[in-house]
Amino acid sequence: MSRQLRRKGSSRIPSRPFVVATFAMTVDGKTTTRNFTPVDFTSREDKLHLFRQRALADAVLIGHTSLKRDNVRLGIPPELQKARRKRGQTPAPIRVIVSDKGKIGNRLNIFQSDISPILIFSARRMPRKYRQALREKATLHLTRAQHVDLAAMLRTLRDKYKVRTVACEGGPTLFRALLERGLVDQLNLTIAPYMFGGANAPTLTGLSKQFLPASVHCSLIDIRVVGDECFLTYRIKHKRRHSN
């Protein structure tokens, strides 16, 4: 599977890490329910698939809402840690949180695990009390601007932390923001055998009624069926590769 993370035939040094997003959606394209309650609609196999993808990366990336709602630690199981060590990697990928507002609770599960360093990319508008509390648990990268510059964040990950591959675990808002900026290279998509309906339940690209600035063209590079679930791997076709 690691082959999927490597760029074929690229000799020049890329300006940012290779970004692989992993999502599950229902047959009718929903990634969660209307209320954004944590919904468990995928199999054990899919959860293992997510862990495997996470374990292949140098960093795992998550948006603040998914972190809050799902309260994930973003660790990996011992056998995958072992496999990483054998490959000469750290036991687990660096964990990266993105938030514009910066009001991230320091009691979230992620901060109770020290499996790998945690980086927070946010803005200087992060309230002081959050800064103080979070500094004890994570390294803060705070921009002077109102919003996090995702391309700059990826460059920092590459230049400062030697990150070559990023596993983006959503949610849809963060994924869409990356997609709109041409910052996603691969999409691993699980189609789970359910339908939720509901116009207010987010799809892969969130709830925005707006079209993407330009349609994104994907090429299907792998397909695997396990039980009633379908695991698809798409390469995202960039108009100008890594133009940032």
Q: How far is the CB of 239 from ligand NAP (least distance, A)?
A: 20
Q: Indicate whether 101 belongs to the interface with ligand NAP (CB under 6 A).
A: yes
Phi and psi at residue 211, to the nearest 5°: -70, 160
Question: Could you give the CA distance from residue 124 to residue 130 in angstroms, rounded to a whole number?
Answer: 11
Q: Shortest gap between Cβ of 60 and ligand NAP (angstroms)?
A: 12
Report DSSP letters for 32-90, one per residue.
S-TT------S-HHHHHHHHHHHHHSSEEEEEHHHHHHH-------HHHHHHHHHTT--
Query: Taking the complex as a whole, how short is the minimal distance between the CB of residue 63 and ligand NAP, in angstroms?
Result: 3
Contact 29, 204 (CB under 8 A): yes
Q: Does 177 bind ligand NAP (CB under 6 A)?
A: yes
Which of 47, 129, 135, 147 forms a contact with ligand NAP (CB under 6 A)? 147
Can residue 203 be called a binding residue for ligand NAP (CB under 6 A)? no
198 near ligand NAP (CB under 6 A): no
Distance CA 235, CA 155 (A): 21
Q: Tell me the per-residue interface mask from 214 to 243 with ligand NAP, x by CB under 6 A, - otherwise.
A: ------------------------------
Q: Based on CB atoms, which residue is closest to ligand NAP, 6 or 147?
A: 147
The candidate with the shortest Cα–Cα distance to 91, out of 101, 102, 79, 99, is: 79
| Contact flags string 10-49 toward ligand NAP, x per CB under 6 A | -------------xxx-----xx---x-x-----------
- Whole-number Å distance between alpha carbons of 147 and 138: 19
Which parts of 53-92 interact with ligand NAP (CB under 6 A)? 63-66, 69-70
Handedness of CA 207, 99, 63, 242 (dihedral sign): positive
Which parts of this chain interact with ligand NAP (CB under 6 A)? 23-25, 31-32, 36, 38, 63-66, 69-70, 98-101, 147-148, 150, 169-174, 177, 202, 206
